[in-house]
Amino acid sequence: MNADRYVRQMTFKEIGIRGQRKLAHASVVIIGVGALGSHAADLAVRAGIGKVRLVDDDVVEIDNLQRQTLFDEEDARLARPKVLAAARRLREVNSGVEIEPVVGRAVPTNILDLIQGANVVLDCTDRFSARYLINDACFKEGIPWVYTGVVASYGMSATLAPGETPCLRCILGDPPEDSSMDTAATAGIIAPAVSVMAALSVAEAMKLIIGTGQRNPGLLYVDVWNNAWERIELPPRRPDCPVCQGKYEFLEK
């Protein structure tokens, strides 16, 4: 670990040299490398998290560039797979971090392999079907994960840790239909909302890895256009939640 590189971060007393070493030995999986995922990956790699795995099956397009900060016009012209374009850029940013791009989608048959060994999983997808899959996999493996969703000017965030907090299914019940939800395609999206939510997500990951600080204990709602910051308390774990009873239905689909 190059200590000079992280001197400002280590001077922050909640991290220090010990926290920085923990980051260097940690592994984070980022599922979805669009707007949220590219912001989050940039922050995670600059912070010196030792290993960052990127999972996405999409290619860069010109209308991504307004908010997907790791990509440029050449990536769009060549329709580069997002994880490969991101990995190339991130290796230039920090050659001390192991970047592992996976061109593909997280599905029931691969997700347990994808998250194996991770300290934290960051949900940077835009679909509830993917989030319920991540929830099943992470609760099965005992890995904390950070749920983040952004659309238009607002986002939601929750940090879900097996054995500590309820799971996504305890909170939201059965998944809403993906087609019933607003998306960036239907409601638009602005980059500052993405930046805020990605920053919150990586801060949660750093706190989980280092073990200091106060994590988000609820469901956080932020709207950067209307300047709303609200936190709803998480409900208690649902006694009839299949996931919390060890039934992982989304891993079987």
For the record, the structure tokens of 141 come out as 């493996």
Judged by CB under 5 A, the residue of 84, 191, 234, 241 near Zn ion is 241
Closer residue to Zn ion in complex, CB, 76/243: 243
137 binds Zn ion, rule: CB under 5 A? no
Q: Which residues 6+ apart lie within 8 Å of 225 measured at CB? A: 152, 153, 154, 190, 193
Q: How far is the CB of 170 from Zn ion (least distance, A)?
A: 3
- Within 10 angstroms of residue 107's Cβ, the number of other Cβ atoms is 13
Of 152 and 244, which CB lies nearer to Zn ion in the complex structure?
244
- 231: Cβ–Cβ under 8 A, 6 or more apart, which residues? 216, 217, 218, 219, 220, 221
- Percentages (nearest 5) of helix, strand, coil residues in the chain: 45, 20, 35
Nearer to Zn ion, 231 or 237 (CB): 237
244 binds Zn ion (CB under 5 A): yes
Kindly identify the residues of this chain, within the stretch 155-184, that bind Zn ion according to CB under 5 A: 167, 169-170
Contacting range for Zn ion; rule: CB under 5 A; set: 50-58, 70-78, 88-96, 234-242: 234-242
Q: Do residues 84 and 100 lie in contact, with contact meaning Cβ atoms separated by under 8 Å?
A: no
Q: Nearest distance from residue 127's CB to Zn ion, in Å?
A: 19
Binding site for Zn ion (CB under 5 A): 167, 169-170, 241, 243-244
